[in-house]
Chains A and B, each alone.
Chain A
Amino acid sequence: MPELTARTRHRVCFRLNGREVEVLAENRMLLSDLLRHELGATGTHVGCEHGVCGACTIQVDGAPVRSCLILAAQIDGADVRTVEALAPEPGRLSVLQAAFREKHGLQCGFCTAGILMTLDALLAARPDAGEAEIREHLSGHLCRCTGYVTIVEAALAAVEELRKEQKDNA
C-alpha cells in the first residue's frame, strides 16, 4: 500500500492537456495550486477554494470538476484538461471561445475559464444541448459581470455553429 507521508513532496504523474507530466507535491496541495504554481498553467483561476464559485473548474477524465476540491495525491494517473487545451492552435479560438467573444459572454473574465470547461464538456457529451440544460450546468458557476444571459447566448451560438460544422463535414 503506497503511504505518502505528510510534509514531504511526492511524485505525482498525470496527463495534462494531452502531455504526460510529473511533478513533486505535498499531499495537501490542491490541484488548482498544483496546476498554477508547479506547472505554470495559470489559465485556471482560483476563487473561493471551497467548491462554491466554479472559477477553478477543469476536466478530469472528461468530466467538469472543481480543481480546488481535489488533492494532488488524488490525481495520479488521471487525464486532466484545462482551458489551455481549448484553442486548436496559438492565435485561433475554439468555436466555444469565439462564441463567447462574439456574444460578449465575458467581461472581467475571472469566471470564464471554469465556465468554458463546463460547457466544453457538456457540448462534447451532448452536442444538441438546449437552453435548460445549459443553464443547469451553469448553475455551478458564479459570474458577477454578465448576468449570465450573454453566456447562455454564447453557448447556444456555439451549439449552432458546431451543428453547422458537422453538417459541412458530413
Chain B
Amino acid sequence: MKPPAFDFLKPDTLDEVLDTLHRRGADARIIAGGQSLVPMLNMRLARPAVLVDIMRLDALRAIREERGEIVVGAGVRQAALESWPQLSAKLPLLARAIGWIGHVQTRARGTVCGSVAHADPSAELPLSLIALGGSVRLASRRRKRTVAASDFFLGMMSTAIADGEMIEAVSFPVAGNGTGHAFREIGRRHGDFAIVACAAVADATTTHLAVGGVDDLPRRFALPQSDGKALDEALNEIAWSLNARDDLHASARYRRELVRRLGRDAVMEARSCRN
C-alpha cells in the first residue's frame, strides 16, 4: 500500500501547469487534495509518472458568483465550500449534499473539482453537478472550453478531460426563486460510498431527479408534476433504465427499490421546500 515513484512538480502559475500537462501528456496527473488520487496511488490503480500540485495557485482557490453561476476553483477544498457563508442561499442542494461526502477528515483536504475529475459513479458532487445542470471549465495550453455536466461524465471514472487538459473550475447555477431542493442517500455506514443517492430539483413547472450509485455515471431525468400514480410509474421506469447490478454492497433489485423510494422522498421534499 505504498505509491509508486513519481516526479512531483510545484508550479507557481497556471501557465506552468498547462505547459507541464502539454509536455508530459497522459503521464501527468493533477494533484489537489489527493483524497481520491492518493488511495489510487497507494493501491497502485494509478501510476502517473508525474504529479502536478496545483495547491500553490491562489487564483484557483476562489468561490465566486458570475452571471448566475457559482464558480468553484480547482483549489477549493470541500470543507471550504461547506463553510462558505452563502452556500445555503445560493446552492441549497450542495448545502444538503456536502455533509454526505466522505467524512470531516477527507473533506478537510479533498477538493470539489477533484471529486468531479475522479467521477466516481456514487459520488455526491458529480451527482449534484448533474442535478443542477452545471458545467465544467477545462483549460489546456491551446484553449479553454466549457463542457456541460451532461456531456462531461462519460462512464465509470471516465470524463471528457483530454490529455493536456485540467479542470480549472466547476460552475453550479444559483438556485432560482421558487425552486426546491432535496438530497437522499443510503450507504452501509454514514460516509461510505452511496449505494443509491438521489438529488431532486423542483420549481413551479418542472421536477428533475438525478440518481447516483446505480449506473456507471450519475443521470438526470425529468419527472411529471403528479405526486400520484404517474410519479410512481416514472420512478419505476427510471429504476429499470439505470442498469442496476448486483455487487458486494447491494443487489440490483434493492438498488431499484431504493431509486423508487428515495426518489419519491426527494421529489416530495423538493416540491414542499420551494423557496
Binding site for B on A (CB under 8 A): 1-7, 26-28, 30, 33, 48-51, 54, 57, 60, 63-66, 68-71, 73-74, 118, 136-137, 139-140
Residues of B within 8 A of A139 (CB): 103, 189-191
In contact, A71 and B191 (Cβ under 8 angstroms): no
B6-14, B145-153, B200-208, B223-231 - interface stretch: B6-14
Q: How far is the CA of A66 from the CA of B102 in the complex (A)?
A: 12
- Given A65-B108, A140-B103, answer yes or no on A74-B31 (Cβ-Cβ < 8 Å): yes
In contact, A2 and B7 (Cβ under 8 angstroms): no
In contact, A71 and B104 (Cβ under 8 angstroms): no
In B1-44, the 8 Å CB interface with A consists of 1-12, 16, 20, 31, 34-35, 38-39, 41-43
CB distance from A120 to the nearest CB of B (A): 13
In contact, A51 and B16 (Cβ under 8 angstroms): no
Is B61 an interface residue, CB under 8 A from the partner? Answer: no
- Given A27-B51, A140-B104, answer yes or no on A71-B5 (Cβ-Cβ < 8 Å): no
Residues of A within 8 A of B49 (CB): 6
Among A48, A57, A139, chain B packs the most CB atoms within 10 A around the CB of A139
CB distance from B16 to the nearest CB of A (A): 5
- Given A28-B2, A51-B38, A74-B31, answer yes or no on A66-B105 (Cβ-Cβ < 8 Å): yes
Residues of A within 8 A of B4 (CB): 28
Is B268 an interface residue, CB under 8 A from the partner? Answer: no
> Could you list 10 further interchain pairs (A-B, Cβ under 8 angstroms) beyond the known A27-B8, A28-B41, A60-B108?
A1-B11, A2-B9, A27-B7, A30-B2, A49-B1, A50-B43, A51-B38, A63-B108, A64-B104, A71-B8
Among B1, B5, B8, B35, chain A packs the most CB atoms within 10 A around the CB of B8
Q: How far is the CA of A69 from the CA of B32 in the complex (A)?
A: 12
In contact, A69 and B106 (Cβ under 8 angstroms): yes
In contact, B2 and A140 (Cβ under 8 angstroms): no
Is B109 an interface residue, CB under 8 A from the partner? Answer: yes
Residue in B38, B39, B105 whose beta carbon sits within 8 Å of that of A64 in the complex: B105
Q: How far is the CA of A140 from the CA of B79 in the complex (A)?
A: 15
In contact, A4 and B5 (Cβ under 8 angstroms): no
Q: How far is the CA of A58 from the CA of B4 in the complex (A)?
A: 24
Is B235 an interface residue, CB under 8 A from the partner? Answer: no
In contact, A137 and B104 (Cβ under 8 angstroms): yes
Residues of A within 8 A of B3 (CB): 28, 30, 71
